Structure 1
Amino acid sequence: MTDQQALLNQITAFETHYHYDAGFLKDMVQHAPGSYDHFQHFQTMARHRELLSTEVFWIAKIASMQQEDCGGCLQLNLNMAREQGLPVAWLSAALDGGSTLPAHLQQVLHYARQVAAQGSVEPELMEAMQQAYSKGQLLELGVAIASAKVYPTIKRALGLTQACQAVTITL
């Protein structure tokens, strides 16, 4: 089996496990293998969580994906968050604006949305986040939030705009 075939098999297994269309990754393996080699490093970065709690990390990722309006990627992140133990009630609350989330997660949700929107973060919220989280944690949040933009951007570059439109989300 070639290295390329092994990668394609890994992507197919990922698609099957998460019920996610990763055709854009298969295209990258087949048509831009050098880009895929570098993209694997990005994926490691996008999944990196060292300083943040699981729930803070996933609420930030979900808020970012909502901001990017990428239904398929949002569903993938919801599935991954569930797999890592986040309660369905929290995920549902995050999708509905966060009013029933614990206070610290409401803060993270609103912060992640504001950062992802590329505007300024409300000063009171920024101050609260700086008091609640270390500089390292805020940097890790920044990486988690920023990484949400890459997947839909690559899909859109391929003209796969249908893949990045709202879908029916299931929990």
Structure 2
Amino acid sequence: MIRYFLRMGIEQFAKRYNYDADYMSHVVETSTMAGVRLSLLPLYSQFRGPKEAQDVWAGAMLGSTQEGDCGPCVQLIVDMALEAGVPAEQLALCLQGDASAAGDVGLGFRFSQAAIANTPALEEFRAEIDKRFGSAAVTAASFAASSGRIYPVLKRGLGFGQTCSNVQVKQKTIQVPQHR
């Protein structure tokens, strides 16, 4: 019965975002308990903090995901961000390598990249997010920075890794550079 509900949830998710969720189905078929645990991961990764800091969260999730993937997972994050009302032009600027010009989305993007690389700039980004949006926004950006790479790494580990692909941000096609 649990497996049925997991399959239904995966099917709805895949349809909603036009996303290839075969790796999720594989996990459920391999182990129901693994499927349950995978289904709980959004409780962590989707903590977005305060509404006014949503763009920072989206940028952090995009930066982390792009570090782990150059296509389908990045497209999913872009689609989810657009659905939430995140500015398309700021998402596009980050994907084109100009995060410093991308407003709050760029702030989150640079935060996640600094957290992943453990650079000295991390403290500056953390302080700015905290000053402007509060500690819950820093927590949300940190969750995003640490969780965006989970799905691409999981997919590759399971043998479902995909080749790089272009990302659509509204009507704009962007070739996402591979960070590996």
- Superposed pair shares fold, TM > 0.5: yes
Aligned-residue Cα RMSD (Å) equals 2.1
Q: State the shift of 1:63 in Å.
A: 1.3
Letter in 1 for 2:99: G
Give the 3 Å change call, closer, same or farther, for CA 43–125 of structure 1 in structure 2.
Answer: closer
Cα pair 1:93 1:101 within 8 Å, conserved: yes
Q: State the shift of 1:129 in Å.
A: 4.3
**Alignment length, in residue pairs?**
166
**Structure-2 residue corresponding to 1:168:** 166
**Structure-1 residue corresponding to 2:155:** 155
Q: How does 1:80-119 map to 2 (within 5 A)?
A: 80-96=80-96, 97-102=98-103, 104-117=104-117, 119=118
Relative to the length of structure 2, the TM-score reads 0.81
Q: State the shift of 1:74 in Å.
A: 0.6
Relative to the length of structure 1, the TM-score reads 0.84
Q: State the shift of 1:135 in Å.
A: 3.3
Q: How does 1:7-156 map to 2 (within 5 A)?
A: 7-51=6-50, 53-96=53-96, 97-102=98-103, 104-117=104-117, 119-122=118-121, 124-156=124-156
Unaligned runs of at least 5 residues, structure 2: 170-180
State the alpha-carbon separation in 1 of the partners of residues 40 and 9 from structure 2: 16
Letter in 1 for 2:36: D
Cα pair 1:11 1:25 within 8 Å, conserved: yes
**Secondary structure in 2 matching 1:170:** strand
Unaligned runs of at least 5 residues, structure 1: none
Q: State the shift of 1:6 in Å.
A: 2.9
Letter in 2 for 1:16: K
State the alpha-carbon separation in 2 of the partners of residues 3 and 128 from structure 1: 43
More strand by share: 2
**Structure 1, residues 102-138: CA drift from partner, whole Å, max 9, x if none?**
2x44333212111123x22425445444544533322
State the alpha-carbon separation in 2 of the partners of residues 138 and 113 from structure 1: 14
State the alpha-carbon separation in 1 of the partners of residues 37 and 87 from structure 2: 33
